[in-house]
Structure 1
Amino acid sequence: MAGELPSVEACLERYIPASDLADVKRILYGGEARKLNLPDAALSAAQERDFELLGYGFDAAPEQLRRPRIVRVGLVQNKIPLPTDTAVAVQVAALHKRIEEIVEVAAMCGVNIVCFQEAWTMPFAFCTREKLPWTEFAESAEDGPTTKFCQELAKKYNMVVISPILERDEIHGGTLWNAAVVISNSGAVLGKSRKNHIPRVGDFNEVRYSIVIVKLVLPCSSCFCQHALYQSSHHDLGHFYGSSYVAAPDGSRTPGLSRIYDGLLVVEMDLNLCRQVSDIWNFKMTGRYEMYAKKLTEAVQPYFTPNIIRE
Structure 2
Amino acid sequence: MARSQTLDEIVKNNLNLEQINEFNRIYYGREDHCEIKFKPASVIASEKFEVELAAYSFHAAKEEVRKPRLVKLGLVQHSIVLPTNEPLISQRKAIFNKVENIINIAASEGVQILCLQETWSMPFFLCTGEKDKWSEFAESAENGPSTKFITNLSKKYSMVIISPILEIDNNNIWWNTAVVIDNGKYLGKHRKNHLPSVGSFSETAYYAPGNLGHPVFETQYGKIAVNICFGRHHALNWLMFALNGAEIVFNPSATISEFGESFWGIEARNAAIANGFFTCSINRVGIEEFIKTLDNKKITRSYYGSSYITAPNGCRTPGLSRVKDGLLIGEIDLNLCRQIRDHWGFPMTSRLEMYSKELNEKQ
Same fold (TM over 0.5): yes
**Residue range with higher mean Cα deviation, 53-62 or 31-40:** 31-40
1:117, CA displacement in angstroms? 0.5
Return the letter of the residue paired with 2:7: V
In structure 2, the CA distance between the partners of 1:291 and 1:251, relative to structure 1 (3 Å rule), is same
In 1, Cα distance between equivalents of 2:132 and 2:201: 22
- Note the residue ranges of structure 1 that are not aligned, 5 or more in a row: 224-234, 300-304
Partner of 2:162: 162
> Which 10-residue stretch deviates more, 275-284 or 67-76?
275-284
Change (3 A) 1:168 1:259: same
| Closer, same or farther: CA 212–199 of 1 in aligned 2, 3 Å | closer
Aligned to 2:23: 24
Higher relative contact order (CA 8 A, sep 6+): 1
Query: 2:290 maps to which residue?
Result: none
Q: Which runs of 4+ in 1 moved over 3 A?
A: 197-207, 209-213, 235-238, 286-296
Q: Cα distance 1:134–1:248, how it changes in 2: closer, same or farther (>3 A)?
A: farther
Counterpart CA distance in 1 for 2:264 and 2:118 is 24
Structure 1 residue 92, shift from structure 2 partner = 1.1
- Residues 212-233 of structure 1: per-residue CA shift (max 9 Å, x gap): 99xxx9782499xxxxxxxxxx
Deviations 1:52-99 (CA, angstroms, capped at 9, x unpaired): 011111111111111111100110000000001111121111111110
- Shift, 1:291, TM fit: 6.5
1:126–1:198 CA contact under 8 A, matched in 2 = no
Distance 1:50 1:294, change over 3 A: same
- Structure number with the higher strand fraction is 2
Residue of 303, 308, 312 corresponding to 1:245: 308
SS of residue paired to 1:277:
helix
Q: Find the residue that maps to 2:318 and give its secondary structure.
A: coil
For 2:45 and 2:192, how far apart are their aligned partners in 1?
34
Of 194-203 and 108-117, deviating more is: 194-203
Q: 1:220 aligns with which of 243, 256, 262?
A: 262
Matched letter for residue 184 of structure 1: D
The equivalences for 1:49-198 within 5 A come to 49-170=49-170, 173-185=171-183, 187-198=184-195
Amino acid at match of 1:175: I
1:28 partner amino acid: Y
Using the size of structure 1 for normalisation, the TM-score is: 0.81
Distance 1:149 1:22, change over 3 A: same
Which of the two has higher C-alpha Rg? 1
Q: CA deviation at 1:12?
A: 1.4
State the partner residue of 2:251: none
What amino acid does structure 2 have at the position aligned with 1:259? R
Q: 2:336 aligns with which of 273, 277, 285?
A: 273
Instruction: After TM superposition, give the deviation of residue 238 of structure 1 in Å.
Output: 5.2
**Residue 6 (structure 1) shift:** 3.9
Distance 1:183 1:3 in 2: 39
What is the identity, as a one-letter code, of the residue corresponding to 1:60?
A
Task: Work out the CA distance in 2 between the residues paired with 1:279 and 1:140.
Answer: 42
Q: Higher mean Cα deviation, 260-269 or 286-295? A: 286-295
